[in-house]
Amino acid sequence: MKKITLLLSCLGLFISLNLLFAQHMDHPKSAPSGIQTLEGEVLDMVCFMAHNGQGKKHKECAQKCLNEGAPAGLLTSDGKVYLVIENHHKKEPFKKLKTLAGEKVKVTGTIYAKNGVQSIEVESVEKL
């Protein structure tokens, strides 16, 4: 009888947890603030955040880090930093941006802000 009670309790817990986690599978979208065009330097966010890696002197390292999967960023002339994110339906502009570490670029895309992080979802990128 104890084994059956334990088994039913475990089964109930398993079902409850599955229902709880299933509710979080549909990710709510952040409210976009519209499409904008920004100009700035392509960063690798790891080196930028850890030791202010930026500029031409850091270009080679930034490119290596982006190639290895570090998140990309965009540093604008007013000092704002945007996390650069991929549009899952239009991947090529993001791939192109990741080849331009340390370069000045013009990026057009949708701006998102959530929990203090601002990002741009890349629609197009052009080297300046």
Average pLDDT value for the chain = 84
Residue 83's domain comprises 32-127
In a domain, 39, yes or no: yes
Sign of the torsion angle spanned by Cα atoms 108, 116, 70, 60: positive
Task: State the CATH number of the domain containing residue 84.
Answer: 2.40.50.500
Token pair for 117: 């992080």
Is residue 111 over pLDDT 80?
yes
Residue 84 lies in a domain: yes
Residue 100 lies in a domain: yes
pTM: 0.74
8-60: per-residue pLDDT in tens? 454 444 555 455 555 555 555 566 678 999 999 999 999 999 999 999 999 99
- Is residue 4, in this structure, part of any structural domain at all? no
The answer to whether residue 93 is domain-embedded is: yes
Total domains present in the chain: 1
- Give the separation between CA 99 and CA 63, rounded to whole angstroms: 7
CA distance 110 to 36: 6
